[in-house]
Amino acid sequence: MDSKDRQIIRALQSDGRMTNQDLAEKVNLSPSPCLRRLRNLEKSGIISGYSVDVDSVAYGLPVTVFVRVQLDKHTEDVVQNFEAQISKIDHVLECYMMTGRADYLLKVIVADLNDYEGFVRRALHPIGGIGSIDTSFAYGVVKKTSVFPRLHQNQHMD
């Protein structure tokens, strides 16, 4: 991947619906080489898909919750079961393995506090193997982006 590929990626992260013509103009390429590069990025899996950014409040899920989960044991069975079960829960938008006190950090969206209680009781607790759950509710968004930062010359090799 070179700097032109990264320009294409950043442009599409900003507006995934732009035409190839607009993309080519934005990254200073002619349309044919631009499309070829885009198809190569998709074929290689660097671009893994396209999605739409939706206002969660308007959708009806206005509460964002960050949940830190610590497992009670770290056996292969407990870890595999937890990860398999979490991957099936729609309210969990993201799940990260973490260093530090918590083993996992979940980003969860719910309608309200009652919905969160139901999520914990009906989705998390039945998984088993959980030693502790620590919850933080987000009450505002300062920054939200899916556009990667530009890399500086010394951060990559083109």
Taking only the tens place, the pLDDT of each residue in 8-41 is 999 999 999 999 999 999 999 999 999 999 999 9
CATH 1.10.10.10 domain extents, the chain: 3-52
* Alpha carbon distance 53, 51 (integer Å): 7
Q: Residue range 107-114: average pLDDT? A: 98
Mean pLDDT of 79-88: 98
**154: pLDDT strictly greater than 70:** no
pLDDT at 123: 97
Three-state SS across 131-149?
Answer: EEEEEEEECCCCCCCCCCC
Q: Indicate where the chain has its CATH 3.30.70.920 domain(s).
A: 56-138
Q: What is the pTM of this model?
A: 0.87
| Residue 23: both structure tokens together | 């993309």
The CATH architecture to which 3-52 belongs is Orthogonal Bundle (1.10)
Phi-psi label, residue 98: left if phi above 0, alpha if psi -120 to 50, beta otherwise: beta
* 151 DSSP assignment: P
147, 10 Cβ separation under 8 angstroms: yes
The predicted pLDDT at position 152 comes to: 79
pLDDT at position 155, please?
60
pLDDT > 70? residue 89: yes
Fold of 56-138: Alpha-Beta Plaits (3.30.70)
